[in-house]
Structures are given as C-alpha cells and as structure tokens.
Amino acid sequence: MIPSSDGEEHETQGEATKTVIGKRGRLWEVDAARGVAILMMILYHLTYDLDTFGGYGIESTSGFWALFADTTASLFLFLVGVSLAISHTRAGAGANRTNGNLITKYLLRGLGIFGYGMILTLVTWLAGVGVIAFGILHLIGVSIILAYPLLRFRLPNLVLGLAVILVGEYMRLQGISSESPWLLPLGVVPENLFMPDYRPLLPWFGVVLLGLFFGNLLYGRGYGVRDAGGNGPAFVRPLEFLGRHSLLIYLVHQPILVALLVLFGIVDFGGL
C-alpha cells in the first residue's frame, strides 16, 4: 500500500494456534518490498520527466518503460492487499472492536487516500500536463472501501481477483470507449484523452484482491506461531525506511525531481 501499514502490536489466537505479528506490528518484509516499489517509481518518473519535459526521446509510455510502470504499479497494489490483510488481522485481535468501528476505519482511510488523489487531479489540471483523473491514489482509496466485505476471505479473493483482471484486459484489448467521464473508474476511456497516470478498477482492483488473498494466506489467523515484526537485516533497512514513508515520498518526489532537473539545466521549460 502506498500509505504504509500502521504499527500497533497485535496478536491473534485460533483454537490451537497463535499468530504474532511483531513487537510493534511492523512487517519488515512488507516495508522493504514497498521500499523497492518506491525506488522503481522514482526511476520511472525520472525517465518520464526526461522524456516528456526534456525531449530525450526515451519513449517512456510504451515498450519496456510502459511494462516497467505497470510492474511498479502491480507491486504497489499487491502490497495494498497484503497490508489490508495484515490490518484486518490486527483489528480482529482487539477485543473492543465492533463492526461499526471497522467500517468507519476503512471508510475514512479510503476516503483520505482518495482525497489525496483528488488533490493530484487538481494540481495536474492546473499545471496543464495531462489530468490524473483516476490514478493510483484514487484506485487505492476506492479499493480499500470495496475490499472491506472481502477482508476475511482467501480463495474467493483469488478467484475474484483473476476474474477482475481478465475482464479488464478484455475491455482494454477491445478498445471500449465512451464519451462519459463517469465510466473512467471502470476502464472505459473517452477517445484522445491523455492521462499520465491511469489505473482503473478493471483490471487493477484485481491485483489488490490477489494481494489480499496472499496476505491472508501468510498472515491470517490459524497459521502457526510467527514473529514477523521488528527490523529486518541491516542491508534492507533503507528500503524499510522508504516503505514506511511511502505516501509522503509519493506526494513530494515529482516536484523534487523536476526542480532538480531544472536546477542542473537538464530540463528547460522555457523551450517547451
């Protein structure tokens, strides 16, 4: 998940087994994986900036780099699902939790991240560099809310996730389009609309569901004693740091990249 999972201590007990997720509830391997995704994102956006603003002809929106961008997004979204599974396991350990508390928790979290996405929509519209109408933050916000009824399931999330991906890919291959902007979240795009970051629910919500399946498989209740918290090996701690501050880095890295490119004379907006 671009916003990192919170760090409460939690413990879940089954009939004969117990799952312990860390001293502070942090999963170093998830943080480190999110840190890898952050580095991939920064590399791709640097390439995109050189191509779009610097005119270096890298073709950042096709071929290898388009695949690299999709791989980066897939890793982020898969980790959204994993983090949701961990969060749900943690919430289930609280004796004072009620369904109302949980619904409110996930609703507010989803709306908050969607709100950040809408800020990016406004900023990109004002900047005139292509509008991010439904980017990865919009998708994550909506996915957190839509995934709430599915948080406790394993196999159904695998099946549904694959189905959502297949439907989305079918729609993409068929080139289905519409003049209505209200269908953008479902992957139906008006012709000749350029969006630098577009991640519709079909197929990308399916990747979140696959992560939810995998997260429940590894970190759900009844799968034995496992202390997965604390710090990982020393060589992954920089990645853990990036993963734990992923939302902040996501929001500020592009302005910083562009400012550095201008400062070093690599990009000249006056010549665009």
Q: What is the pLDDT of residues 105-151, one digit of tens each?
A: 999 999 999 999 999 999 999 987 788 999 999 999 999 999 999 99
Confidence of residue 90 (pLDDT cuts 50, 70, 90): confident
Q: Which of 91, 134, 92, 97 is nearest to 113 (CA)?
A: 134
Q: Is the pLDDT of residue 92 over 90?
A: no
Rounded to two decimals, the pTM is 0.87
Give 197-216 pLDDT, tens digit per residue. 999 999 999 999 999 999 99
Place of tokens 């004796």: 95
Helix (H) or strand (E) holding 67: helix 63-92
Return all residues near 145 (Cβ < 8 A) that are at least 6 apart: 106, 107, 110, 111
Confidence of residue 9 (pLDDT cuts 50, 70, 90): very low
Q: Which of 143, 203, 162 is nearest to 3 (CA)?
A: 143
More confident residue, 32 or 19: 32
More confident residue, 182 or 224: 182
pLDDT computed for residue 206 by the predictor: 98
Confidence of residue 24 (pLDDT cuts 50, 70, 90): very low
Taking only Cα atoms into account, the Rg of the chain, rounded to an integer number of angstroms, comes to 20
d(C-alpha 198, C-alpha 71), whole Å: 14
